[in-house]
Amino acid sequence: MSRLIVVSNRVQPPSNDPNANQGGLAVALLAALKEKGGIWFGWSGETTEKFTGHINFQQGGGVTTATVDLEEQDFDEYYNGFANRTLWPLFHYRIDLTEFERDFKAGYVRVNARFADTVAPLVEPDDIVWVHDYHLIPLGAEMRARGMTNRMGFFLHIPWPPMRLLTSLPNHRELVESLFAYDVVGFQTHDWLDSFLSYVTGELGGTLGDNGMVTVGDRTIRAIAAPIGIETASFEKAAQSTTARHACERMWMSATGRSLIVGVDRLDYSKGLPERFLGYERFLASHPERSGLVYLLQIAPPSREKVDTYREIRATLDSLSGRINGEYADMDWVPIRYVNKGYPRDMLAGIYRAARIGLVTPLRDGMNLVAKEYVAAQDPNDPGVLILSKFAGAAEQLTDAVLVNPYSAEEMSDAIATALAMPREERIRRWEKLIDNVRREDVMWWCELFIDALNAVPQSAEARA
């Protein structure tokens, strides 16, 4: 059986603790690697004076990881630069925040070449290579240039932007053409897939065939929509754990009869947190009868703090939460509890379970696994209501959520009022449809869907070409 070689920007250190604080991608990839066997390769998150290619191997939780340190210049140009100041804002439709710097691109190319040089000796002839996300788009082409003929797939976890936005990127053709070094390219939703196909046909003169086959020049790949899921059974079990029950009880006790609205998001401008606070403020202003009867808990762990736009979003939220609390709070009630720290997933499961509303309102999101975790954590006999942005990838699957336009404060206010007033029977009916999807299309379904597509690729490099 072929091993799975996963390559991503960062690697989750192996842990035998099932409640370790892990991001959605980490949980998904660890589950895939436990099932298939293989190696997870990527950056350690540490810097070194000079790049040596030394690999640090670790084992834990049934997974082998292999990490390398990068130079400080690599970190500045590849990660903080091209990945997070150029590609991330552009792919999230924020061309106003996108920075185009030649040094950024040079660092991006350099690190992808270094990854290729370092991981290539670890790959055996029958292994399947699965590359992840916008940090490593050119990696497949770098590995092909080094003679690698393995089946290779690429999965993009963030949105793919419309053609007119993408063409603002210098050397955009070169970036997209590098995807044709892979055999299968996956996107979270049909919307993002359609945007990719529009670019390929409109800018590269590509042709579309049956079953997702796409040809540009002498290269044909398969492009698919494969929405990522969560470890649903594991998360439902976590929601029943002692830690989760204690967290849930703690929330109930601190709520003192008030309805809890919860938001859990990495601190990022794509998550729509200022718009969420303003929508909640509109609700408070429009429904004075609810004063003192509801509160918003916003958990927002900081990220990428060396990038100016992330410091700015934190300052904005500090200001907004302070102003709203100052205007609406009473001596025994604060309308917003704003927390800049993360929590282990079993504690989060308990917080989700205690919440009458899960507020997931990104301005643009590849998928958003918080929405699925909120659904999985609910009490089947008395579930809460998921309010979900129409612009999150998860909205394509979770159609029985209350879907909103996050740019509209009035629409968000109305959605909160609707969710709070929703009868128990309707909440159960909506939740049952949501949990059916979350259980059926879980992380292993996603993994099998993508790997099956890769396994269907002809064995020989000549046939793939």
Q: Is the dihedral of CA 388, 393, 394, 400 positive or negative?
A: positive
Of 69, 74, 365, 442, catalytic: 365
Verify whether residue 132 is a known catalytic residue: no
Q: State which amino acid sits at residue 23.
A: G
Candidate list 157, 346, 400, 442, residue with the active-site label: 157
Question: Residue 63 forms beta bridges with which residues?
Answer: 60
Distance CA(359)–CA(262), nearest Å, equals 6
Question: 219-225 and 213-216 as β-strands: parallel, antiparallel, unpaired?
Answer: antiparallel
Alpha-carbon span 290 to 300, nearest angstrom: 25
Name 436's Cβ contacts closer than 8 Å, sequence gap at least 6: none
User: Any catalytic annotation for residue 365?
Assistant: yes
DSSP 82: I
CA distance to 41, 329, 365, per residue, from 184 (Å)? 19, 53, 22
Residue 127 sits at φ, ψ, to 5 deg, of: -70, 150
Q: How far apart are CA 166 and CA 117, in angstroms?
A: 29
The closest of 119, 357, 165, 171 to 260, measured between CA atoms, is 357
- Coil vs helix vs strand at 344: coil
Q: Are strands 63-71 and 56-60 parallel, antiparallel or unpaired?
A: antiparallel
Three-class SS of 94-143: CHHHCCCCHHHHHHHHHHHHHHHHHHHHHCCCCCEEEEECHHHCCHHHHH
| Ranges assigned E (strand) in 175-314 | 184-187, 207-208, 213-216, 219-225, 259-264, 294-299
Residue ranges with strand state E in 294-446: 294-299, 336-339, 357-360, 385-389, 402-404
Q: Which of 369, 364, 310 is nearest to 340 (CA)?
A: 310
Active site residues: 157, 365
